[in-house]
Amino acid sequence: MVSRFGILTGGGDCPGLNAAIRATVRRADQQNVTTFGFRNGWEGVLQSEVEQLTLASTRGLLHRGGTVLGTSRVDPYRERDGVRRIEDALEVHRLDGLVVIGGEGTLAAATRLHVDEGLPIVGVPKTIDNDVAETELTIGFLTAVATATEAVDRLHSTAESHNRVMVLEVMGRHAGWIATFAGMAGGADAILIPEVPFDIDAVGRHLRHRAGVGRDFSIVVVAEGAEPVPGTMELPEHPMDEFGRPKLGGIGHTIAHEIESRTGFDARVTQLGHVQRGGSPVPMDRGIATRMGVHAADLAIAGDWGRMTAYQAGRIEPVALADVAGRLKPVPEELYRVAEVFFG
């Protein structure tokens, strides 16, 4: 019988995490199961920083961005005695399992802990990047798309007034979901994503062609992880962050510079940065987070470990964590081809 389980949020934050925490706690409470929140992702488990969550402590969270539990990119497999310390934390706090709300990195650690060490874990997918495999949507993605779309809309009017090229850089480390959705929703004239290497000469020709037919301004949306066709353009080296990942951001400036030198057009850059990760979740994110939170609690209470709550064809389905880890979900070519129809 499961009577107590822990919850953590790991990796980059996103809108909807609090809604998921609230829903998990509410469902568990309804079934007389007690929940405990670890602070700052895996770090809180390693440090045994934990407190009981209650209906009172999770009230009023539905619409709030960020995560009241805090988050970090700490990976237990990169910490000394990480696995043993996680096992100890579960034992000391007499937890029957853990609900881990995270993106690709956090869920990869969760999967290893479950598969290799046999720890009882349920995963919930979140990331504005929407690149987690097996789920059509991750918590936070639709809010980031709404924010990025608003940015495209705002750039449109000023681009038009000044006859400029506006380059909007959005997040998307391995996959260009935000760029594709926001670019399509805002009517971008070019969208550059990691899945489709770009040729900057072709981009320049395309923008000149637009000007030639009287379209004197253009909007280019670029995902931070976009890559040029090898040999066509150099990108500056990225420094590494403390977790061994390249610190992305800044490609928009390189692209704008290359466009200016190829076309002679005036180009400006907006790097949306962490604005797209902040703020209140859109209604659909609140709904997905709520549904996934309830399902995650149900899986934990049933002792159905090693699963992740996935959004598939409008339903929340349990999938095997082992099928998720180590894989990413790229933007499918057919979707990009639809967005491309409007690059005229």
Chain CA centroid to CA 92, Å: 32
Q: Which stretch binds ligand F6P (CB under 6 A): 56-64, 76-84, 92-100, 165-173?
A: 165-173
Alpha-carbon dihedral 316, 193, 64, 125, rounded to 10 degrees: 30
Choice among 13, 75, 129, 285 that is catalytic: 129
Active site residue 285: no
Nearest distance in Å: CB 133, ligand F6P: 15
74 binds ligand F6P (CB under 6 A): no
Residue 330 CB neighbours (<10 A): 18
What sections of the chain are H helices per DSSP?
17-30, 42-46, 82-92, 104-115, 141-162, 177-186, 200-212, 251-263, 283-301, 333-340
Nearest distance in Å: CB 252, ligand F6P: 13
Q: Which stretch binds ligand F6P (CB under 6 A): 124-132, 153-161, 208-216, 226-234?
A: 124-132
Nearest distance in Å: CB 9, ligand F6P: 12
For residue 40 the two structure tokens come to 């700052």
Chain CA centroid to CA 197, Å: 21
Contacts with ligand F6P by CB under 6 A: the residue count is 13
Q: Which stretch binds ligand F6P (CB under 6 A): 108-116, 127-135, 185-193, 295-303?
A: 127-135
- Residue of 6, 10, 12, 70 interacting with ligand F6P (CB under 6 A): 12
Q: Are 14 and 277 in contact (CB under 8 A)?
A: yes
- Residue of 45, 111, 124, 129 interacting with ligand F6P (CB under 6 A): 129
Nearest distance in Å: CB 154, ligand F6P: 21
DSSP 274: G
Residue whose structure tokens are 């009230």: 59
**What residues are labeled active site?**
129
Contact residues toward ligand F6P (CB under 6 A) are 11-12, 103, 127-129, 171-173, 224, 241, 248, 277
